[in-house]
Copies of this chain bind each other. A is one copy, B any other.
Amino acid sequence: MKIVALAGGVGGAKLAHGLAQILSPEDLTVIVNTGDDFEHLGLTICPDLDTVCYTLAGLANSETGWGRVNETWNTISNIEKLGGPNWFRLGDQDFGTHIERTRRLKEGQSLSQITKDFCKAWGIKQTVLPMTDSPVRTIVDTDEGELAFQEYFVHRHCEPRVKGFRFDGVEVAEPASGAREAIESADAIVICPSNPWVSIDPILRVLSLTPAPLSHEERRKPIIAISPIIGGKTVKGPAAKMYAELGIEPSALAVAEHYRDLLTGFVLDIKDEQLSDKFRGKILATDTLMNSSADRARLAVDVLHFIGSL
């Protein structure tokens, strides 16, 4: 079964890793949000792309949910010592990724080509694509005004109250080379348990999977989503807080509503099974928490069986 997974950071990366354990490498394409990308210290940083790649390569720091395992912090320590910006913690190995990517971007190479080469260097056999090679930047509208995503997310610890989102550059951004083809040839699209507002919406916008009507071919293709919200809370990240601040009760139900027109099926946690009656579409209730590598594989198997049953 050929799968395209749409992923943001941690949650998306974990399920992508689960799917990678089950599917043949040529059968999995992960299309990753780049709305969180930003320019910092002169470098182009792609947090979600790196989290997905590091996770697939077994290089991710599973404790922090970002950055590399066995990391050192000497570059940022010296920057800090010199009075430079220290709010975005970058490890020494991680700096290497950003420096080399930025060098190649400045040479005019595309983010998707660079990502392809990085994946090869890291031994990743699956296809990992940025959603687009054009800059798209998520802007969070808050009670303190508009904030660039990382400013909101990392620098301000998601404290400002969210009023809405926009994705600078999304109107002119074309899907990265290979993304449309991967979707066309996929048997199903899996929307990973990532933040619907800031991780998945930008991808859907760039891929024109919403709000534009789907093509006949795409309409026949199962699209399923896994709720990142369990028992009204997110495992990680501000999705639940965002729902609440936007006046929507955070729940798996709210996530399914978010994607409503798009979904063929929806996966929620077994803890939320009582909500199943409230959905119109096909539902799978299962254990969606992914603490271990085995958990990821188990959820991937459940998801693939669910798709097979649709």
Which residues on A are within 8 Å of B, measured CB to CB?
41-43, 71-72, 74-79, 81-85, 91-97, 99-100, 102-104, 106, 117-118, 121-122
Contacts and interface: CB of A to CB of B under 8 A. Distances in A.
A96 B117 contact: no
Given A78-B93, A78-B96, 20 more contacts: A41-B103, A72-B72, A74-B74, A74-B91, A75-B75, A75-B95, A77-B93, A78-B95, A78-B100, A79-B100, A81-B96, A82-B100, A82-B117, A83-B117, A83-B121, A84-B96, A84-B103, A85-B103, A92-B92, A95-B95
Contacts of A83: 100, 117, 121
17 contacts: A41-B100, A42-B42, A42-B106, A72-B72, A72-B92, A75-B99, A78-B93, A78-B95, A81-B122, A82-B100, A82-B117, A82-B121, A84-B103, A84-B104, A92-B95, A95-B95, A95-B99
Contacts of A81: 96, 121-122
Given A42-B42, A93-B77, A100 B84 contact: yes
Contacts of A106: 42
A37 B27 CA distance: 48
A72 B96 CA distance: 13
A102 B41 CA distance: 8
Contact of A74 (B43, B96, B102): B96
Contacts of A78: 92-97, 100
Contact of A118 (B71, B82, B93): B82
Contacts of A94: 78
Nearest to A81: B121
A96 B77 contact: yes
Closest 5 CB pairs of A and B: A78-B96, A74-B92, A84-B100, A92-B92, A75-B96
A261 to B, nearest CB: 40
Nearest to A76: B96
Nearest to A94: B78
Contacts of A76: 96
A92 B75 contact: yes
Contacts of A41: 99-100, 103
Given A42-B106, A72-B72, A99 B117 contact: no
Given A42-B102, A103-B41, A103-B42, A96 B121 contact: no
A93 B92 CA distance: 9
A77 B77 CA distance: 18
A112 to B, nearest CB: 15
Nearest to A118: B82
A81 to B, nearest CB: 6
Nearest to A83: B121
A45 to B, nearest CB: 12
A82 B102 contact: no
A102 B84 CA distance: 11
